[in-house]
Chain A
Amino acid sequence: MQELARSRSMLGFRQLLRNTPEGLYCPPGDFHIDPVRPVARAVVTHGHSDHARSGHGAVMATPETLAIMAARYGESFAGHTEAAGYGEKISRGDVGVTLVPAGHVLGSAQVVLRWKGITAVISGDYKRRSDPTCAPFEPVPCNLFVSEATFGLPVFHFPPTDDEVAKLLKSVALFPDRTHLVGAYALGKAQRLIALLRRAGYDKPLYMHGALAGMNVLYQAHGVALGPLLPATGEARNALPGEIVIAPPSAIADKWARRFADPIPAFASGWMMVRARARQRQVELPLVVSDHADWDELTLTVGELKPEEFWITHGNEEALLRWAQLNDVSATALEIAGYEDEEE
């Protein structure tokens, strides 16, 4: 009987959501979620460019995410946009759609679908730790939970974020003649790092790569306090000894970095948990600061939501599948291509 009930609900899940070359698709509502190619109707979970692409017919997202997309792609990034605030109930065909906070970056949302007695939650990218720059993840009990698995391996137990910030500040004190050049993803990570440094009491100006300016202004306009920020460029050679410069990860190993005083390359990322990853990028000060759920957060979240079915969109799905098997959770890996989290 139980088996039968299970296969019946599986059937329902697959009618509500299925994997297509464009990404996750909801047939009864006729929209895609975070499509990787242009589609007629898209629901977008957050503003990172691999999830939020331009060129869709219509885009539904939180007002913050729409603002981020407009800042990145220009106002005409989609034919039509619809802002959905957190918790707002919206209908698409006979599907109820609600966006709830995912705790990933400013405006990030989980997509909650309600249809024929089924509640499905598509987490998007998410984390459970506190982040002064965005609303915290809101757990929604559901029948089907569709999760990311960027850090879906038991090696990822992220240390307390404050310890990592303290590590950066200690190094700044030990090497007062050198510039600390911190790679951080331009949307979300950079602003979170700034906010964390402020919380740790660092009140000197922080120096910014030009690519971060737009998002910093956008965050500030949404009420996130970042303190004094100055442009890092335009300074003379051997500039900014003893200062902290924040730049996109690709810039820290670039020619651009040569202008600074004997810079110490740092990188704020969950990947910095693994030494080889830090070495690959020639990072000298790895800082484990991630906007994704680590292994504990991923598994605790599934344990907390108790879904009948657990789908994994992208990332390191093998270990999570094994965990699900050991914990008697029915799980499937969708292996959706096109999401890149290397710079996370």
Chain B
Amino acid sequence: MKAFSRLLDQLAFTPARNAKLTLLRDYLGSAPDPERGWALASLTGALTFEAAKPGFIRKAAEARMDPLLFSLSYDFVGDLAETVALVWPAKPGANREPELSEVVESLKLASRREVQQLLERWLDALDASGRWALLKLLTGGLRVGVSARLAKQALAGLGDVAVSDIEEVWHSQSPPYGDLFAWLEKHEPKPSANAPGRFRPVMLAQAIDEESDFARYEAKDYAAEWKWDGIRVQASHEAGQRRLYSRTGEDIATAFPDVIAALDFNGVIDGELLIFRDGHAAPFGDLQQRLNRKTADAGLLEKFPAGIRAYDLLMEGDEDLRPLPFAARRKRLEHFVGRLKNDRIDLSPLQPFHSWEELAQLRAHPPKGDPQVAEGLMLKRWDSIYEPGRPKGPWFKWKRDPHLIDAVLMYAQRGHGKRSGFYSDYTFGVWREDANGARALTPVGKAYFGFTDEELKRLDKFVRDNTVERFGPVRSVRADRDFGLVLEIAFEGLQRSTRHKSGVAMRFPRVNRIRWDKPAREADELPTLEKMLD
């Protein structure tokens, strides 16, 4: 486990691709089987455990130390697994460190109860970096910036073969990849590549840069369609296997039996998962009721019926359409969806336009119907092949302009992750009349991004210089008629909320500008905000 956790540590801090490759090759070439195979699986996401929930890990740590000391530590570090890894009290005379393969194989056989005992025993035996690796592994996310593609490149380097050779066989292999390593080290012939129902890495869009991209690209080269407000899915039915993948390749089929039942075709569709009501897309809030669940009961299925709005066709029967240009794939998709006659799978229509100006008008004033709930527009080059990743040029997303209000900074909390040590989470409020008719600020939301690192430093200093009270990680800052910091807040939508004192909840709020110049008393009033309710 030591070599693996050191590798993870170094990968996490190394941004450069080539350096990551060096580290990976060094590890994969020197670690023994099956250790390196399990490491490879966990790095590429092929091996995920949800053996331990964050709540359990936290409880285990709190059982060994004062909960307040734990929470002060968590607040400082910002990441649960890292906090536990750092604060876990050393146990002199603990068992020897477990190997990664031992962890993986024990977890496969262990009951839930046993998992908890094993986990505590391993935490006792490992050092801080080993504990971090173990906890990340058990909570299902290493996130050290190694894509499957990068790992495959390291493998290609190790075996001195082309990356496409690795990709070809990849989906037919399974951890701990004994055959794969045997082939790469020239002990065995190349393994076979056939695996129907496998996930195809998705193609993603770049955000458009209005300043430069419209001048650079021509309107006639692009098709436009609305950007639906659901989640991206890949639905496949191949050789009798039905699959529904999220855009990262996670199989979410069990939570969407209604969608799975509707996959009466032979091929692979790329589209948006939405809640459909009478053929129309419901707001994202409805879909949220069905996300992050393992299963769905009959009541939920009836109340929130899900379907797919298709926008691409990757496989039709055995034919791989990805090398075809978008224009050709689109024709095939239209016929394919047309033939299905299934009310759970419809077609994302193209939005005709002739110039960028015309498209800008459409974006600002979407036509009646579903486009009104869209997040914006998607632009796809007619001649673009389906290329996994986020290439620059073929696909763009162009989101709608957000709503803007001027609010006053009221509270700040120390940030998590990259921002730990900075006051970077800001609660802001607008003016309202209180029961006595006096103007008072009422909090309406919280934002923690939208500013540069330089601005963050200034905001952090402002918070520290103008703190009124401290509540653990939170500070209240001076905010009254005569003094306060105005933040221009951008947000996507506003809904009524009973959970918030102000009665409104913002979607996706962020700091758009910092109005160092604007007096606090001139910030917006609650009624202004209420007019923006969706």
Give 13 new A-B contacts, CB below 8 A, not counting A159-B127, A319-B72: A154-B69, A155-B86, A157-B86, A157-B90, A174-B22, A174-B23, A175-B22, A274-B86, A279-B13, A280-B422, A316-B76, A318-B72, A322-B72
Residues of the B chain whose Cβ atoms lie less than 8 Å from the Cβ of A279: 13, 418
Give the complex CA separation of A283 and B328 in angstroms: 47
Closest to A278 in B: B13
- The residue from B12, B13, B15, B87 contacting A155, defined by CB atoms under 8 A apart: B87
Residues of the A chain whose Cβ atoms lie less than 8 Å from the Cβ of B19: 175, 264, 284
Is B127 a contact of A323 with CB atoms below 8 Å? Answer: no
A285 at the interface (CB under 8 A from B): yes
Jot down 17 A-B pairs with beta carbons below 8 A, ordered by A: A154-B69, A154-B86, A155-B77, A155-B87, A159-B127, A175-B19, A274-B77, A274-B420, A276-B77, A276-B417, A276-B420, A279-B13, A280-B419, A280-B421, A283-B13, A284-B15, A316-B76
- The residue from A155, A171, A175, A277 contacting B83, defined by CB atoms under 8 A apart: A155
Residues of the B chain whose Cβ atoms lie less than 8 Å from the Cβ of A277: 420-421
Is A274 a contact of B13 with CB atoms below 8 Å? Answer: no
- The residue from B68, B79, B128 contacting A159, defined by CB atoms under 8 A apart: B128
B495 at the interface (CB under 8 A from A): no
6 pairs of A and B residues whose beta carbons are closest in the complex: A155-B86, A276-B420, A319-B72, A154-B87, A155-B73, A284-B13
List which A246-280 residues lie within 8 A (CB) of chain B: 264, 273-280
Task: Output the least CB separation between A184 and chain B (Å).
Answer: 17
Task: Output the least CB separation between B37 and chain A (Å).
Answer: 22
A4 at the interface (CB under 8 A from B): no
Task: Output the least CB separation between A265 and chain B (Å).
Answer: 9
B370 at the interface (CB under 8 A from A): no
Residues of the B chain whose Cβ atoms lie less than 8 Å from the Cβ of A322: 66, 68-69, 72
B192 at the interface (CB under 8 A from A): no
List which B348-374 residues lie within 8 A (CB) of chain A: none
Residues of the B chain whose Cβ atoms lie less than 8 Å from the Cβ of A286: 13
List which B43-83 residues lie within 8 A (CB) of chain A: 65-66, 68-70, 72-73, 76-79, 82-83
Task: Output the least CB separation between A18 and chain B (Å).
Answer: 23
B522 at the interface (CB under 8 A from A): no
B387 at the interface (CB under 8 A from A): no
Chain A interface residue count: which class? 20 to 34
Task: Output the least CB separation between A179 and chain B (Å).
Answer: 13
Residue among A159, A273, A278, A279 having the largest count of chain B Cβ atoms under 10 Å: A279
Give the complex CA separation of A241 and B315 in angstroms: 49
B14 at the interface (CB under 8 A from A): yes
Give the complex CA separation of A163 and B128 in angstroms: 13
Residues of the A chain whose Cβ atoms lie less than 8 Å from the Cβ of B86: 154-157, 273-274
B26 at the interface (CB under 8 A from A): yes
A148-159 interface mask toward B, CB cutoff 8 Å, 1 = contact, 0 = none?
Answer: 000001111101
- The residue from B13, B73, B127 contacting A154, defined by CB atoms under 8 A apart: B73
Interface of B with A (CB < 8 Å)? 10, 12-15, 19, 22-23, 26, 65-66, 68-70, 72-73, 76-79, 82-83, 86-87, 90, 127-128, 416-422
Closest to B472 in A: A318
Chain B interface mostly helix, strand, loop or mixed? helix
- A284-B13, A319-B73 are known contacts. Are A154 and B421 too (CB-CB below 8 A)? no
Give the complex CA separation of A284 and B310 in angstroms: 42
A1 at the interface (CB under 8 A from B): no
Task: Output the least CB separation between A224 and chain B (Å).
Answer: 31
A5 at the interface (CB under 8 A from B): no
A11 at the interface (CB under 8 A from B): no
Task: Output the least CB separation between A120 and chain B (Å).
Answer: 27
Give the complex CA separation of A159 and B130 in angstroms: 13
Task: Output the least CB separation between B339 and chain A (Å).
Answer: 51
Closest to A337 in B: B464
- The residue from A153, A174, A278, A280 contacting B76, defined by CB atoms under 8 A apart: A153
- A157-B90, A280-B421 are known contacts. Are A326 and B66 too (CB-CB below 8 A)? yes
Residues of the B chain whose Cβ atoms lie less than 8 Å from the Cβ of A326: 66
- A159-B128, A285-B13, A319-B69 are known contacts. Are A276 and B22 too (CB-CB below 8 A)? no
Is B66 a contact of A276 with CB atoms below 8 Å? Answer: no
Residue among B76, B82, B422 having the largest count of chain A Cβ atoms under 10 Å: B76
Residue among B13, B418, B420, B421 having the largest count of chain A Cβ atoms under 10 Å: B13
Closest to A154 in B: B87
Task: Output the least CB separation between B450 and chain A (Å).
Answer: 18
A306-344 interface mask toward B, CB cutoff 8 Å, 1 = contact, 0 = none?
Answer: 000000000010110011001000000000000000000
List which A84-140 residues lie within 8 A (CB) of chain B: none
A161-174 interface mask toward B, CB cutoff 8 Å, 1 = contact, 0 = none?
Answer: 00000000001001
Residue among A154, A157, A175, A318 having the largest count of chain B Cβ atoms under 10 Å: A154
Is B82 a contact of A274 with CB atoms below 8 Å? Answer: yes
Task: Output the least CB separation between B126 and chain A (Å).
Answer: 13
Closest to B68 in A: A322
Residues of the B chain whose Cβ atoms lie less than 8 Å from the Cβ of A323: 66, 69
Residues of the A chain whose Cβ atoms lie less than 8 Å from the Cβ of B417: 276
Residues of the B chain whose Cβ atoms lie less than 8 Å from the Cβ of A274: 76-77, 82, 86, 420
A277-314 interface mask toward B, CB cutoff 8 Å, 1 = contact, 0 = none?
Answer: 11110011110000000000000000000000000000
Residues of the A chain whose Cβ atoms lie less than 8 Å from the Cβ of B90: 157
Closest to A265 in B: B13
Closest to A285 in B: B13
Residues of the B chain whose Cβ atoms lie less than 8 Å from the Cβ of A155: 73, 76-77, 83, 86-87
Is B79 a contact of A275 with CB atoms below 8 Å? Answer: yes
Residues of the B chain whose Cβ atoms lie less than 8 Å from the Cβ of A153: 72-73, 76
Closest to B6 in A: A167
Residues of the A chain whose Cβ atoms lie less than 8 Å from the Cβ of B14: 284
Is A276 a contact of B79 with CB atoms below 8 Å? Answer: yes
Residue among B73, B78, B419 having the largest count of chain A Cβ atoms under 10 Å: B73
Residues of the A chain whose Cβ atoms lie less than 8 Å from the Cβ of B23: 174
Give the complex CA separation of A171 and B66 in angstroms: 38
Give the complex CA separation of A319 and B15 in angstroms: 34
Task: Output the least CB separation between A161 and chain B (Å).
Answer: 14
Task: Output the least CB separation between A328 and chain B (Å).
Answer: 14
- A174-B23, A276-B419, A277-B421 are known contacts. Are A154 and B82 too (CB-CB below 8 A)? no
Residues of the A chain whose Cβ atoms lie less than 8 Å from the Cβ of B15: 284
Give the complex CA separation of A273 and B13 in angstroms: 13
Residues of the B chain whose Cβ atoms lie less than 8 Å from the Cβ of A264: 19
Task: Output the least CB separation between A61 and chain B (Å).
Answer: 30
Is A276 a contact of B73 with CB atoms below 8 Å? Answer: no
Residues of the B chain whose Cβ atoms lie less than 8 Å from the Cβ of A174: 22-23, 26
Task: Output the least CB separation between B190 and chain A (Å).
Answer: 30
